């Protein structure tokens, strides 16, 4: 099953209860557009995480890939890590309930203000495969954003 939901109350960022659910701009759009729940400034040369207060559920052999839109790229905003990978077990995790955040880096020389309700990126559901001989560190995710990098 693939779906988007608002995160539970304990995981809401910015104390903002209103969210705009992701939506595809056209019938043939691959990506679901995500929107900022708040006004936020990304300083020139700096990066900020814009939390969406949305979580995504997908099948265990799928993930949600996050990317900026071409319009964001034209304005000098990129994802700090190039693309984002939201694993299926990030959904409803214990630390942030799967709240999806876009860590946007402003490559410009002036601050960039994101308006509440402005499109901040897109998510695309993708299927993936495992290697025939597979090694993984753990069967269970413990934590939220960036938790699989922790030792």
Q: Provide the CATH number for the domain around residue 116.
A: 2.70.40.10
Residue 49 falls inside a structural domain? yes
User: How do residues 14-53 score in pLDDT, each as one tens digit?
Assistant: 987 789 999 999 999 999 999 999 999 999 999 999 999 9
Task: Name the residue range of residue 84's domain.
Answer: 3-129
Query: What gap in Å lies between CA 135 and CA 132, rounded to an integer?
Result: 10
pLDDT digits (tens, 9 = 90+) for 129-143: 999 998 887 676 466
Residues 77-113: tens digit of each pLDDT: 999 999 999 999 999 999 999 999 999 999 999 999 9
**Residue 79, beta-bridge partner list:** 104
149: in domain: no
For residue 37, tell me if it sits in a domain. Answer: yes
The answer as to whether 109 is a domain residue is yes
* Number of domains comprising the chain: 1
Q: Are 109 and 74 in contact (CB under 8 A)?
A: no
Residue 138 inside a domain? The answer is no
**Would you give the DSSP letter of residue 147?**
G
Is 142 among the domain residues?
no
143 domain-assigned:
no
Task: Specify if 52 maps to a domain.
Answer: yes
Burial 124-148 (b: 16+ CB within 10 A, else e): ebeeeeeeeeeeeeeeebeebbeee
């Amino acid at each position: 099953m693939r779906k988007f939901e608002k995160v539970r109350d304990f995981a809401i960022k910015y104390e903002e209860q209103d969210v705009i659910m992701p939506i595809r701009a056209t019938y043939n759009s691959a990506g679901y557009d995500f929107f900022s729940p708040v006004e936020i400034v990304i300083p020139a040369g700096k990066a900020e995480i814009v939390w969406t207060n949305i979580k995504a559920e997908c099948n265990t052999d799928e993930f949600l890939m996050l990317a900026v839109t071409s319009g964001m790229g034209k304005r000098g905003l990129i994802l700090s890590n190039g693309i984002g990978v939201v694993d299926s077990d990030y959904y409803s995790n214990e630390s942030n309930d799967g709240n999806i955040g876009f860590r946007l880096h402003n490559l410009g020389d002036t601050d960039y203000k994101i308006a509440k309700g402005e499109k901040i990126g897109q998510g695309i559901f993708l299927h993936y495969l495992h290697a025939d001989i597979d090694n993984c560190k753990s069967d269970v995710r413990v934590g939220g954003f960036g938790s699989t990098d922790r030792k």
